[in-house]
Amino acid sequence: MSNIQSLSSEAQRQDYLDQLESEAIYIMREVAGQFERPALLFSGGKDSITLVRLAQKAFAPGRIPFPLVHIDTGHNFPEATQYRDWMANEVGAKLIVRQVEDTIKAKGLKEPTGKNASRNWLQTFTLLDTIEEFEFDACIGGARRDEEKARAKERIFSFRDEFGQWDPKRQRPELWNLFNGKISKGENVRCFPISNWTELDVWAYIEREKIPLPSIYFSHQREMILRDGNLLANADFIYKDDSDVIVTKTVRFRTVGDMTCTAAVESEASTIEQVVAEIKATRISERGETRIDDQQTEAAMEDRKKGGYF
């Protein structure tokens, strides 16, 4: 008896990353077990890259039993798009790409124009159409609760009605690790396996697992637009006026969103170890530093999510 006890406690002295990994894999398997047609929302950013690694591990030695889905705004970093194609091929998963451009044309949507115009909000339409097209009943996403205060309140299995809406006041109680993914036809669930990970946990995991990342996460020289103290990558489709200054800077990106709304940080960090060291030392949060769309109002994310956003 005492022998068993001591062996056991040795065996289960798991590191915090092992614990987070084990929980995320449990959630991945719940999604595969509870739903008929799940999909993994993949952007080529570090959080969804982490999800792909977790999915590989969860179903090894089998293949990932669901497709990777990318909602392409047409404003993505080319490095991230290239990485996306490479990664899908590397893990042998099916990749589905749907273009926001096509939704704009088909639905005659009015595209935001002018300064700080972003297709970020328009992605929701394409996402909901894609869910309908493939009849996805679950979409796995890389959202984390430490990112933003509306997300801190969201369930791991987050129910969406037939219009894709999130109702924060009527969320299902989520007890123990008993996830309730029961839905009616047309409804779906967004599932967030890395809800309990922080930005630093994701980086530490990527470092430990030696997961390759798109090059924009590391220091490089780039032509940038200096606007209101933020550094945006220059691209033809970004509206510029006289107050914008074009500069060449040595930068890296801390998050990967649309080029129109993702700001860079000046950095010389060219290895994963150096990036992790810089993030440990920073005094500014991920979204505050890099997401221009969230700096606008106190409830920007909550409002987007209610409308069906990721």
Partner 1 sequence: MDILRFITAGSVDDGKSTLIGRLLYDTKSILADQLEAVEKASKTRGDGEIDLALLTDGLRSEREQGITIDVAYKYFQTPNRKFISIDAPGHIQYTRNMVTGASNADLAIILIDARQGVVEQTRRHSLIASMLGIPHIVVAVNKMDLVGYSEDTFLQIAQEYQKLADKLAIKDLKIIPVSALAGDNIVDKSEAMPWYTGETMLHFLENVDVQHDLNLNDARFSVQYVIRPQTEELHDYRGYAGRVQSGVFRKGDTITVFPSEQTSKIAKIEVYGQEAEEVSAPQSATILLETDVDISRGDLISGTGNSPVLSQDVEATICWMDDRKELKVGNKYTLQHGTTRVRCSVKGIEYRVDISNYDQLEDIESLKLNDVAKIVLRTAKPIAYDAYQTNRANGAAILIDETSNVTVGACMVEA
The pattern of x and - marking residues 76 through 105 that bind partner 1 according to CB under 8 A reads ------------------------------
Using CA atoms, how far apart are residues 77 and 70, in angstroms rounded to an integer? 13
Asked whether position 185 contacts partner 1 by CB under 8 A, the answer is no
Determine how many CB atoms are found less than 10 A away from the CB of residue 61: 5
Q: Which one among 15, 85, 102, 133 touches partner 1, defined by CB under 8 A?
A: 15
Closest listed residue to residue 158, CA positions, set 124, 187, 197 = 187
- How many alpha carbons lie under 13 Å from residue 237 in its C-beta half-sphere? 15
Q: Which one among 85, 115, 152, 228 touches partner 1, defined by CB under 8 A?
A: 152
- Min separation Cβ 6 and partner 1, Å: 10
The pattern of x and - marking residues 273 through 292 that bind partner 1 according to CB under 8 A reads ---------xxxx--xx---
Q: CB–CB of 48/74 below 8 Å? A: no
The pattern of x and - marking residues 195 through 234 that bind partner 1 according to CB under 8 A reads xx-x-xx---------------------------------
Q: CB–CB of 119/260 below 8 Å? A: yes
Stretch that binds partner 1, among 4-12, 117-125, 218-226, 241-249 (CB under 8 A): 4-12
Asked whether position 16 contacts partner 1 by CB under 8 A, the answer is yes
Asked whether position 7 contacts partner 1 by CB under 8 A, the answer is yes
Q: How far is CA 6 from the centre of its chain?
A: 40
Using CA atoms, how far apart are residues 114 and 112, in angstroms rounded to an integer? 7
Tokens for 248? 């060449």
End-to-end alpha carbon distance in the chain: 49
Longest dimension (CA), the chain: 77
Asked whether position 175 contacts partner 1 by CB under 8 A, the answer is yes
Using CA atoms, how far apart are residues 262 and 202, in angstroms rounded to an integer? 19
Q: CB–CB of 207/173 below 8 Å? A: no
Stretch that binds partner 1, among 5-13, 103-111, 225-233, 240-248 (CB under 8 A): 5-13
Closest listed residue to residue 257, CA positions, set 105, 68, 97, 48 = 48
Asked whether position 137 contacts partner 1 by CB under 8 A, the answer is no
Q: Which stretch of DSSP H or E encloses residue 281?
A: helix 272-281
Q: Which one among 109, 117, 121, 172 touches partner 1, defined by CB under 8 A?
A: 172
Asked whether position 266 contacts partner 1 by CB under 8 A, the answer is no
Q: Which one among 108, 114, 169, 281 touches partner 1, defined by CB under 8 A?
A: 169
- Min separation Cβ 250 and partner 1, Å: 23
Q: Which one among 20, 138, 202, 261 touches partner 1, defined by CB under 8 A?
A: 20
Spatial strand order of the sheet with 138-140 comes to 95-99, 68-72, 38-41, 138-140, 188-191, 157-160
Q: Closer to partner 1 at the Cβ: 25 or 97?
A: 25
Binding site for partner 1 (CB under 8 A): 4-5, 7-9, 11-16, 18-23, 25-26, 29-30, 32-33, 57-63, 145-146, 149-153, 168-169, 171-178, 180, 182-184, 195-196, 198, 200-201, 282-285, 288-289, 298-299, 302
